[in-house]
């Protein structure tokens, strides 16, 4: 069996340097790390995980608890982007990522996380009101949350209010005053975006028209289709409709086109999330891109810092701003 001593001899460095390089320590140069890792791979070196655990008291395995309300799973563009970035950033630090079973009911999440020996857990897109989730958040385990703030926990949030302000300011600048908003189901994210809508309308001296503010589910194309028809049936329909996300916006676009209307000539629309598929639509969708890559990286690095430096790291709330994609679906009046 190849040992670190063999790798050290082959690279002409000390065993301590090999150990630090394979553990991604920052006091080793990147060129030395690359040389040692390439040599280790060529020689067929595999670290002894049991010895590693005994030495560091860490399993180098992070659990992920994920279940979105829409039931989209890993096809959910926003959450899948965050999780992919989280996985890549964790692996770059030498950690494996394992999903926790959300359907199993014989053990609590805390029990399962400890049974698997997770160093920490990322909680993403799940019902945070669930008593089992609250038990996890109140446990001694290291936890990071996505789009949710829990007491004394590191959290990564998309700046939803700023995102809505960016989107609405663009719509206002295009000359629209009759702006409808189909908002998502009840959550902290929804409340923030809805508050930003109301504040923006007030700031521009525009009345809040209740018939223009409707509730649907996220990623619900059928619901968006139905509500779009309701809006267009009004005596004074909106000139622009903002949807809770890009997928729901596709449902609204279908409803508009089914009436023989054109976008944006007859009706303007805007989505939210900035998913890749929306940018291949014709015309290209106006939307707010959420920076899923940065969110995933901050979640991974924040959690790993707590795992590796528990005495000096404090829980932090990271807020990540999005970017407006002007697109072509909002007409300049």
For 113-163, write each residue's pLDDT tens digit. Answer: 888 889 999 998 777 888 889 999 999 999 999 988 999 999 999 999 999
Most confident of 63-72, 86-95, 228-237: 228-237
Please tell me the distance from the alpha carbon of residue 244 to that of residue 271, in angstroms, as a whole number: 7
Query: C-alpha angle 271/75/322, rounded to 5°?
Result: 40
3-state class (DSSP) for residue 125? coil
pLDDT for res 55? 54
Taking the CA of residue 113 as centre, how many other CA atoms within 13 Å lie in the half-sphere pointing to its CB? 25
- Looking at every residue in the chain, the average pLDDT score rounds to 90
Asked whether residue 281 carries a pLDDT value surpassing 90, the answer given is no
Torsion of CA 161, 225, 68, 89, to 10 degrees: -60
Give the pair of three-digit tokens for residue 119.
């160093």
The predicted pLDDT at position 15 comes to: 85
Task: Give the confidence band of 23 by pLDDT, cuts at 50, 70, 90.
Answer: confident
Residue 53 confidence (pLDDT): 54
pLDDT at 48: 60
Helix (H) or strand (E) holding 39: helix 30-43
Q: What is the DSSP letter of 261?
A: -
Mean pLDDT across 309-327: 94
pLDDT tens track for 179-218: 999 998 878 899 999 999 999 999 999 999 999 999 999 9
| pTM recorded for the entire structure | 0.79
pLDDT at 21: 85
Higher pLDDT, 100 or 176: 176
Residue 49's pLDDT is 54
Residues sharing a CB contact under 8 Å with residue 299, sequence separation 6 or more, in sequence order: 82, 86, 89, 122, 144, 146, 154, 156, 318
Kindly report, residue by residue over 216-238, the tens digit of the pLDDT.
999 999 999 999 999 999 999 99
Of 279, 271, 278, the residue nearest 241 (C-alpha) = 271
Residue 76 pLDDT grade (very low, low, confident, very high; cuts 50, 70, 90): confident
Look at residue 12 in the predicted model and tell me its pLDDT.
Answer: 92
Q: Does pLDDT of 294 surpass 90?
A: yes
Burial class (CB in 10 A: 0-12, 13-18, 19+), 94: middle
């Amino acid at each position: 069996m190849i040992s670190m001593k063999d790798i050290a001899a082959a690279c002409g460095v000390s065993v301590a340097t090999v150990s630090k390089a394979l553990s991604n320590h920052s006091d080793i140069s990147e060129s030395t790390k690359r040389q040692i890792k390439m040599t280790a791979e060529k020689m067929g070196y595999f670290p002894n995980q049991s010895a590693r655990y005994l030495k560091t008291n860490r399993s180098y395995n992070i659990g992920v608890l994920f279940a979105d309300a829409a039931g989209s799973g890993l096809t959910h563009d926003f959450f899948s982007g965050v999780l992919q970035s989280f996985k890549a950033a964790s692996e770059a630090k030498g950690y494996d990522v394992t999903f926790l079973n959300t359907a199993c009911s014989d053990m609590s999440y805390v029990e399962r996380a400890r049974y698997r020996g997770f160093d920490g857990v990322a909680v993403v897109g799940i019902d945070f009101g669930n008593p089992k989730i609250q038990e996890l958040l109140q446990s001694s385990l290291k936890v990071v949350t996505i789009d949710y703030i829990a007491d004394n926990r590191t959290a990564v949030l998309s700046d939803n209010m700023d995102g809505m302000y960016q989107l609405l300011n663009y719509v206002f600048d295009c000359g629209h005053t009759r702006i409808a908003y189909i908002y998502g189901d009840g959550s902290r994210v929804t409340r923030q975006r809805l508050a930003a809508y109301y504040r923006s309308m007030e700031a521009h001296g525009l009345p809040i028209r209740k018939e223009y503010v409707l509730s649907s589910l996220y990623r619900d194309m059928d619901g968006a289709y139905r509500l779009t028809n309701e809006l267009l049936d009004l005596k004074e329909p909106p000139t622009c409709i903002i949807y809770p996300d890009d997928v729901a916006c596709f449902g609204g676009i279908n409803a508009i086109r089914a009436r023989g209307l054109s976008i944006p000539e007859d009706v303007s629309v805007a989505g939210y999330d900035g998913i890749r598929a929306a940018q291949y639509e014709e015309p290209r969708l106006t939307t707010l891109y959420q920076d899923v890559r940065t969110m995933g990286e901050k979640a991974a690095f924040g959690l790993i810092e707590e795992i590796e430096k528990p005495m000096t790291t404090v829980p932090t709330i990271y807020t990540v701003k999005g970017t407006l994609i002007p697109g072509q679906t909002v007409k300049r009046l």
